[in-house]
């Protein structure tokens, strides 16, 4: 989590925001084991109709 303030927030002393990264642990090392999912290939024909 990376907190940050813009210049107005710093002057007022409030308004902190946070950015949370959504990387998986293996992505820290340049590996990717997840697969891209899509409606076309993830569901049977009976559901896609």
How confident is the model over 9-30, as pLDDT tens digits? 778 877 666 667 778 888 888 8
> pLDDT higher for 4 or 47?
47
- Residue 30: phi, psi to the nearest 5? 80, 15
Could you tell me the residue range of the domain that residue 31 belongs to? 2-48
For residue 12, the model assigns a pLDDT of 80
Q: Is the pLDDT of residue 1 over 50?
A: no
How many domains does the structure of the chain reveal?
1
pTM above 0.75, yes or no: no
């Amino acid at each position: 989590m990376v907190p940050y303030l813009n210049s107005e927030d710093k002057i007022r002393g409030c308004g902190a925001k946070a950015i949370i990264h959504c990387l998986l642990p293996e992505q820290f090392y340049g590996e990717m084991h997840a697969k891209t999912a899509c409606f076309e290939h993830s569901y049977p024909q009976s559901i896609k109709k």
